[in-house]
Structure 1
Amino acid sequence: MNVRTPKNDTPRSAAIASGVSLLVMAAAAAYSYGFVHDRLIVPDDSAATAANLGTFSALFRTGILGWLLIIVCDVIAAWGLYRFFESVNRSLSLLSGWMRLAYTAILGIAVAFLALALLSAEHMTPNDALAAESIWLSLRVFDFVWSVGLVIFGLHLWITGMLIFQAPTAPRWVGVLLQAAALSYLGVHLYKIAVPEMSLWFSTLKAVLSVPMALGELSLAFWLLLKGGRAAPQPSSIPSDSANAELKASESAS
């Protein structure tokens, strides 16, 4: 009986763990940032935002739980991607893994400011302008710290794209999409850090660049789940019918 050892299963197991984590993370981010954050945070209106957080604190708590799920998935993805690409280029894979962990740590710091904003909103008195400004400041700090982390995340994606190019069985188009996503993350968040006042054209550009950001990570996730770590088909050692016929003919002639 042919029993596969745990060592042989490691690339496939790492690919599945990474792919599942990336997809769960994408869903959690769509909920926590795309739904909860966009619904409760009113741009340039600290009073309305503070009132929303106080009124819908339970919803905001679920958003924070979503961020915590993202942090856990990021740790799993960092481990899985390192183990998967370790045999391709151990040094680059290790660097990429540490960069993702560094981003995850920075995200954890950013989420702490969301928790601070929530607690402040739950305990503020009505029409407390000072408390509303304090809540708004916590949300601004979250956004700034997260942008710093996403610059590091962009570098992680760029290195992962390089690993894709070096992997003999990986499709190059996944590497291209990853590096396009990396450049998008770097461009958007370096600009946000350097120029805090967002213009209308930049908001449009950010919306456009969100497409390659999503495509890069999702293409990696689906490829890891469907193809990553699968052993390449080996040629059969059993002679085919035509080969057997040729062999018998040659024996008869001799």
Structure 2
Amino acid sequence: MLDRTRKVFILVIQLGRGYSIGCHLVALKTDKRLLLTLFPSKPMVDTSKPAPQISLQTAALLAGSAVLIMVFAIPFAEFAVYQKLVVPQKPAETIQNIRANLPLFRTGILCYLITFFCDVLAAWALYLFLKPAHEQLSLLTAWLRVVYAAVNLTVLLNLVTVLRLLTPTDYVTVVDAEQLQTQVMLSLRSFRSGWSFTFNLFGIYLCLLGYLVFRSNYIPGLLGILLAIAGLGYLIDNIRPFVVPDFVINSTLILITGAFEVVFVGWLLIKGTRIEQPA
């Protein structure tokens, strides 16, 4: 009798425990559903719709517009600002010119800055435009231009240093005139040397871009050849001072390489914006 009573008691306890565990499981499931409702693990967006794709026509328009802005901004910064204000081997005259034309000098810095941002935009747009030709190589080419723009941004800080040195402040008033001239000319030469050296990266970029254009079946191959020639021209002109400094290159070569780039820009804006999506 006692054994039977003990068994019944144990059975009741086990049933009670099972009921308690079941209640806990139900509560946990309810809490989990509540938490998932309040804090969903995935964003509550409609993922059934594909992300909008940029067409080749739009990519060509963006790339052509970015480079077209650079075609006007770079000559202005170079010829209307830098070469007008900076006189080589004459630091006193250079400082006087910049101080008398600080707004123009700031505009030149802004033009350089705009061109570097346009470089990034052109790199992205041309990556999309040439992606059907070779996706991996197009991505590598785009990143090379982004690196070129990033290095140029650091080089541009030299002109910002010149601007700060020649802006009237308490610091400038206590600096010796000869020391100020040395600092200004050193910063200007650092900018010019860095600016010229980065064109080696740009030359490699143009060679890769030319290859991509040449192998594509929706862009005239002649444009790829012209871009590759322009890239080689940049490389020859900017490696020369470090390898054979006494060798002089005709300035016509630089004008020709620049003209080849303009031809490609014209094609992007006129023909590229009407191109059909390749199969």
TM-score scaled to structure 2, two decimals? Answer: 0.75
Aligned to 1:85: 130
Quote how far apart the aligned CAs of 1:108 are: 0.2
Q: Does the aligned pair in 2 maintain the 1:148–1:193 contact within 8 Å?
A: no
Query: Which residue is 1:211 aligned to?
Result: 255
C-alpha separation in 2, matches of 1:194 and 1:16? 39
Equivalences, count: 224
Cα 1:132–1:194 change in 2 (3 A) is: farther
CA contact (8 A) 2:126 2:142 kept: yes
> Judging changes above 3 Å, is the alpha-carbon distance between structure 1 residues 47 and 109 closer, same or farther for their aligned structure 2 residues?
same
Matched, 1:67 2:112: yes
Structure 2 unaligned segments of length 5 or more: list them. 1-50
Q: Which residue of 2 aligns with 1:239?
A: none
Structure 1, unpaired ranges of 5+:
234-254
Deviation at residue 206 of structure 1 after TM alignment: 5.2
Alignment match of 1:37 (pick from 70, 82, 87) = 82
Structure 1 counterpart of 2:221: 172
Instruction: Point out the structure with max Rg over C-alpha.
Output: 2
SS at match of 2:218: coil
Q: Does the CA contact (< 8 Å) of 2:215 and 2:221 recur in 1?
A: no
**In 1, distance between residues paired with 2:107 and 2:273?**
35
- Give the equivalent residue in structure 1 for 2:94: 49
- Which residue does the alignment assign to 2:148? 103
User: Which protein has greater RCO, CA pairs closer than 8 Å, 6+ apart?
Assistant: 1
- Tell me, yes or no, if structure 1 residue 221 matches structure 2 residue 265: yes
Q: Is the 8 A contact 1:53 1:122 kept in 2?
A: no
* Amino acid of the structure 2 residue aligned with 1:190: I
**1:88-129 C-alpha deviation (Å, 9 max, x unpaired):** 111111111011001000110111101101111224459812
Q: CA deviation at 1:194?
A: 4.6
Question: Out of 67, 70, 74, which is 1:25 matched to?
Answer: 70
> Which residue identity is paired with 1:140?
R
Distance change >3 Å, CA 192–CA 67, structure 1 → 2? same
* Closer, same or farther: CA 43–181 of 1 in aligned 2, 3 Å: same
Aligned-pair Cα RMSD in Å: 2.2
Counterpart position of 1:13: 58
Match in the other structure for 1:183? 232
Q: 1:70 to 1:6 in 2, by over 3 A?
A: same
Query: Which secondary structure does the structure 1 equivalent of 2:219 belong to?
Result: coil
Judge conservation of contact 1:161–1:176 (CA < 8 Å) in 2: yes
